[in-house]
């Protein structure tokens, strides 16, 4: 459970079965991943079936999460992969 002053929005990156990457925000990564996998997560992931959460980070509020999501979405694939790999260490 997340307490007062703790992060409660997450930016996440999913790897889809066709190896594409999808970036989004949520308050619950596990629930949102389940929604994506069931086909209820959005247009892109309903046709590019997600297979794995590759990365997520916590942010204090929705505004910061939306800004970070936009930043990551603007990056080329190589930068997203570098971010994922930097978190796997």
Residue 42: inside a domain: yes
Range of the domain at 53: 9-88
**Number of domains forming the structure of the chain:** 1
Identify the CATH number of the domain in which residue 15 sits: 3.40.1440.10
Q: Is residue 43 part of a domain?
A: yes
- 3, part of any domain: no
pLDDT digits (tens, 9 = 90+) for 11-58: 999 999 999 999 999 999 999 999 999 988 889 999 999 999 999 999
What mean pLDDT comes out for the span 73-89? 94
d(CA 2, CA 10): 12
Checking if the pLDDT of 6 tops 80, the result is no
State the pLDDT at residue 87: 87
89: confidence class by pLDDT, cuts 50, 70, 90:
low
Decide if 57 is inside a domain: yes
Note the pLDDT of residue 1. 42
56 part of a folded domain? yes
């Amino acid at each position: 459970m997340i307490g007062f002053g703790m992060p409660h929005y997450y930016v996440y990156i999913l790897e889809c079965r066709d190896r594409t990457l999808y970036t989004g925000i949520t308050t619950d990564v596990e629930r949102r991943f389940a929604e994506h996998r069931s086909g209820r997560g959005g247009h892109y992931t309903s046709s590019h079936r997600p297979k794995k959460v590759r990365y997520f980070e916590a942010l204090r509020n929705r505004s910061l999460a939306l800004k970070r999501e936009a930043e990551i979405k603007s990056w080329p694939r190589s930068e997203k992969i570098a971010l994922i790999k930097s978190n796997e260490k």
